[in-house]
Amino acid sequence: MHRKNPPGPHLNRRGLLTAAAAVGLAAGAAGPGSAAAAGPPPGGRDPETFGPAQVRPGDPRYESLLRGDNHRFVGHPDEVQVVGSTAQVVQAVQDAVRAGKRIGVRSGGHCFENFTADPEIRLLLDLSQLDAVGYDPSRRAFEVQPGATLGRVYRTLFKGWGVTIPAGGCPEVGAGGHLVGGGYGPLSRRYGSVVDHLYGVEVVVVDRDGNARAVVATREPDDPNRDLWWAHTGGGGGNFGVVTRYWLRSPDADADADTDADTGAAAADARAAAAPDPRRLLPPAPAEILEALVEWTWDPEKTTEQAVTTLIRNFCTWHEQHSDPAPPYDALYAILQLAHQDAGSFSMVVQIDAGVPHAADLVDEFVAHVNAGTGLTPDGGSATAPWLYVMTWPGNGESGNIITRRYKGKAGYLKRSFTDTQLATIHRHLTNTTGSAECGMLIVGYGGRVRAVRPDATAVAQRDVVMKAVYHSIWADESDDAARLSWVRELYRDVYRDTGGVPVPGEVSDGSYINYPDTDLADPAWNTSGTPWHTLYYKDNYPRLQRVKARWDPRDVFRHALSIELPR
């Protein structure tokens, strides 16, 4: 493939949101499985450098704190409390529960739906300033607080230790919601989903008597709170409590990193002497990424239904055939960004660790496979850039108008290619007259190492999958709400027409991803399948998540439109 244009801001990467829209610890006292009452949190260190800032109507800060990334949703809480420590979270939750106030929890603010802006929320906890990232020797794991953006996580892990996590490609997404929902990105085919590396969580929970406290839950087999850890490996945000800290360590590093709970000084010294090298506890980050951007013009003469459906089928069949958890193909990550024809063109981003043998050849072969038999001549270019630059470029995932950004995203897992009927449906909607340049869909490469994990080992049930599809509209003006919502809803309904308008698990589809929440899945007008929304997101893991809910949030303090329900 012809190479030009180094990757950078000049490349058109709207599609990545278009992808989005698309696309803490005091006294280290507590060991695995322990709990602490309000006061010093169990995690270990908690510097108390910020807050709480209590912002109420009339405060000049109030308006600015009502919205997340999706401006369709604006909350009206009595108070936004910007917190800076686990102890502050415990106190805020305790006060709200005593006052009978519904709580919302926001970290990065990138929720697709109104889960943190529901009109019933009276106290909105803003965790954006609870954002430490570092190595915690007491747990021999990396700690990430919920307010840390993915960009911050990437920078700190990389600059300090040269390691990373296989998280999302948009640097402004918050760890808070992203990790508990599963989390995936450009390195997932190689290293799995983020929660495959989750060692533990610190969570502020509320017991049956209404008492708030912080607890630590880890994956240690003898941890009495292990069920709470498990629920945070894909169960989704806003369900069980307020996460105030994640700990990350790859499972294959456990043998090196035995974790006793003795946090005394002598024990700490002994552990430090025997400590494993932190650089072996998470996957290594690539040094450089080879990135290609391939673009096709929407040309009425050439971009026929046959050409477009062939191209999409080719992208899908490559993933069907090359998604084992093994080199070399696990290193290749691609997103097909199918913009509506009004956009004038559509594109594909391909990334690979530039250090992989024959990386450029693998990319060229992949692009040739995708284009084969279409009769189309793609434009584009490729170049190699430092990994940290690629992952933290501020434009990733942001669309043109970021002052007011409204969006609707819907999603579905794919085990294999769309059927011919589905492909024709996609083409029809991408070329209809009700769509606009603000509409489109993404098909994102997945599979690889993700498939090496059992469906019940974490709360991410969808493991035998090779792609995710994301259907989206992203727009600026409120007056366009109805039209943009209709377009994406109708596309989705028609793609899944044979299964009640939703991606019912079967030969091709495998439900959806809770980090791309879509309340339509719980709406009988849009889901006529008879398969409940929770089966689409959690499959057979749902009853277990309900049991965790009953144990850790028996009063249903933490809830939203698609939250785990208490068992009946």
Binding site residues, ligand FAD, CB under 6 A: 17, 19-20, 23, 68-69, 105-112, 115-116, 127, 146, 168-170, 173-174, 176-178, 180-181, 183-185, 237-238, 242-243, 397, 515, 560
- In whole angstroms, the minimum distance from the beta carbon of 271 to ligand FAD comes to 28
- In whole angstroms, the minimum distance from the beta carbon of 564 to ligand FAD comes to 11
Residue type, 11: L
CA atoms within 13 A on the CB side of 181: 28
* Number of residues written out for the chain: 568
- Give the start-end residues of each E strand in 137-197: 141-144
- In whole angstroms, the minimum distance from the beta carbon of 284 to ligand FAD comes to 20
- In whole angstroms, the minimum distance from the beta carbon of 111 to ligand FAD comes to 3
- In whole angstroms, the minimum distance from the beta carbon of 152 to ligand FAD comes to 12
- In whole angstroms, the minimum distance from the beta carbon of 371 to ligand FAD comes to 25
181 or 278, CB closer to ligand FAD?
Answer: 181
Cα(130)–Cα(369) distance, integer angstroms: 45
243 or 453, CB closer to ligand FAD?
Answer: 243
| DSSP-assigned states of every residue in 340-360 | -GGGSEEEEEEEEETTSTTHH
- In whole angstroms, the minimum distance from the beta carbon of 117 to ligand FAD comes to 9
321 or 389, CB closer to ligand FAD?
Answer: 389
Cα(197)–Cα(459) distance, integer angstroms: 13
- In whole angstroms, the minimum distance from the beta carbon of 201 to ligand FAD comes to 9
- Going by C-beta distance under 8 Å and a sequence separation of 6 or more, which residues neighbour residue 365? none
Q: Which residue has the tokens 């943009």?
A: 484
20 or 564, CB closer to ligand FAD?
Answer: 20
242 or 385, CB closer to ligand FAD?
Answer: 242
69 or 79, CB closer to ligand FAD?
Answer: 69
64 or 434, CB closer to ligand FAD?
Answer: 64
- In whole angstroms, the minimum distance from the beta carbon of 31 to ligand FAD comes to 22
Is the peptide bond preceding residue 328 cis, with omega within 30 degrees of 0?
A: yes
- In whole angstroms, the minimum distance from the beta carbon of 252 to ligand FAD comes to 22
Cα(111)–Cα(180) distance, integer angstroms: 13
194 or 423, CB closer to ligand FAD?
Answer: 194
Is the peptide bond preceding residue 52 cis, with omega within 30 degrees of 0?
A: yes
92 or 261, CB closer to ligand FAD?
Answer: 92
In Å, how far from its chain's centre is CA 240? Answer: 18
33 or 185, CB closer to ligand FAD?
Answer: 185
Phi, psi values for residue 285, rounded to 5°: -80, 145
In contact, 450 and 189? CB cutoff 8 Å: yes
* Cross-strand partners of 475: 406
β-pairing, 406-414 vs 467-475, is antiparallel
In contact, 485 and 526? CB cutoff 8 Å: no
- Going by C-beta distance under 8 Å and a sequence separation of 6 or more, which residues neighbour residue 414? 316, 319, 443, 465, 466, 467, 468, 469, 508, 509, 510
- In whole angstroms, the minimum distance from the beta carbon of 21 to ligand FAD comes to 7
Cα(515)–Cα(108) distance, integer angstroms: 13
15 or 40, CB closer to ligand FAD?
Answer: 15
- Going by C-beta distance under 8 Å and a sequence separation of 6 or more, which residues neighbour residue 42? 25, 26, 29, 30, 34, 35, 36, 202, 214, 215, 216
CA atoms within 13 A on the CB side of 417: 20
Q: Which residue is nearest to ligand FAD (CB)?
A: 237
110 or 322, CB closer to ligand FAD?
Answer: 110
Cα(431)–Cα(245) distance, integer angstroms: 46
- In whole angstroms, the minimum distance from the beta carbon of 379 to ligand FAD comes to 25
